[in-house]
């Protein structure tokens, strides 16, 4: 008799992709916060631009 292990359900690729986008948003928010504290204009603008890109991507999928 062959024993089989039960597979744990995995996330769909789309759900994993959305989770990765949300992690990127959290990272960019932290980077933006640091840039504001340090008054670093270049980093602030870079983080803001990346946040706009990520939120637009979520809007594209109807998640915002």
Question: Would you say residue 64 lies in a domain?
Answer: yes
Question: Would you say residue 26 lies in a domain?
Answer: no
Structure confidence by residue, pLDDT tens digits, 13-59: 889 999 999 999 999 999 999 999 999 999 999 999 999 999 999 99
Give this prediction's pTM. 0.78
Question: Would you say residue 25 lies in a domain?
Answer: no
Question: Would you say residue 55 lies in a domain?
Answer: yes
Question: Would you say residue 60 lies in a domain?
Answer: yes
Question: Would you say residue 30 lies in a domain?
Answer: no
CA separation for the pair 46, 26 (Å, rounded): 14
Give me the residue label for tokens 């759900």: 15
40: tokens are 């670093």
Question: Would you say residue 50 lies in a domain?
Answer: yes
For residue 43, the enclosing domain spans 39-64
What is the domain count for the chain?
1
């Amino acid at each position: 008799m062959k024993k089989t292990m039960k597979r744990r359900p995995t996330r769909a690729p789309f759900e994993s992709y959305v989770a990765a986008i949300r992690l990127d948003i959290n990272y960019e928010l932290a980077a933006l916060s640091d840039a504001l504290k340090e008054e670093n204009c270049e980093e602030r603008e870079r983080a803001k631009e990346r946040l706009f890109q990520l939120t637009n991507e979520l809007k594209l999928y109807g998640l915002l």
